Homo-oligomer: A and B are copies of this chain.
């Protein structure tokens, strides 16, 4: 997928919503537990109910790995289902990987070739040569952690370095990497005031924004400082949508929550 295709989808759906598929067997409706693959059945129902109001799905790989081989199988089935049935959707493997060059190449192979995701999240600590193997893939995107939404993100990300805070150094240096036009960035919604600074460094990049909803971030504040001419934001919501109901009506309720967010986005979008 290209960013232009992603933008076209956003325009068509008037939505820049990403739904995080972080499936926890303790939280899904009990009746699904009797099926052969409860995680996949849950995802399938959520996807069928929301694909027209969101532009992206983001399975967090941890939630699948936690269930071992069966979990990995559910992840494979989920991504294949999306790619076959809704090929316009932008898929994100939220894996936060990053390792030395030959290892990062293996991760890139896993997520881009084997699982056919459009993008993967990557941690910056090991620098350029840990990220460039992902950037080699044409029309695939690498979403680098910049400023995350958790409480302790400030512990290192906001440390002042010789030049600037660490997260800004990450943004700046990443722009010098090979194929850096295929970078996007994770910026938590819980730090809306930082979007202004971030947009000075990466005005045109897409930002993946977790932390709206359960974690307390505000959609309006994020949009105020984060939107660019081609929208440039993917706002993620996970728990608020997935677990809107733990009854048989879970998919319908999930759609209702997704639709509420889409409507808010539409209002904001139409003012652009």
Chain A residues engaging chain B, CB cutoff 8 angstroms? 22, 24, 60, 62-63, 65-69, 71-73, 76, 94, 96-101, 103-104, 106-107, 109-110, 114-115, 123-130, 145, 148-157, 159-162, 166, 169-170, 173, 210
Contact = CB atoms under 8 A, between A and B. Distances in A.
B62 A110 contact: yes
B156 A127 contact: yes
Nearest to A155: B127
Contacts of A169: 156, 159
A125 B152 contact: no
A131 to B, nearest CB: 9
Contact of A114 (B68, B76, B125, B152): B68
A191 B236 CA distance: 39
A159 B162 contact: yes
Given A69-B69, A153-B126, A97 B62 contact: yes
Contacts of A69: 69, 72-73, 76
Contacts of A148: 100, 125-126
A114 B66 contact: yes
Contacts of A107: 62, 65-66
Nearest to A159: B161
A99 B100 contact: no
25 contacts: A62-B97, A62-B104, A63-B106, A65-B110, A67-B114, A68-B72, A68-B114, A68-B115, A69-B69, A100-B149, A101-B150, A123-B123, A123-B126, A124-B125, A125-B145, A126-B150, A126-B153, A127-B153, A127-B154, A128-B152, A130-B152, A155-B173, A159-B161, A161-B161, A161-B166
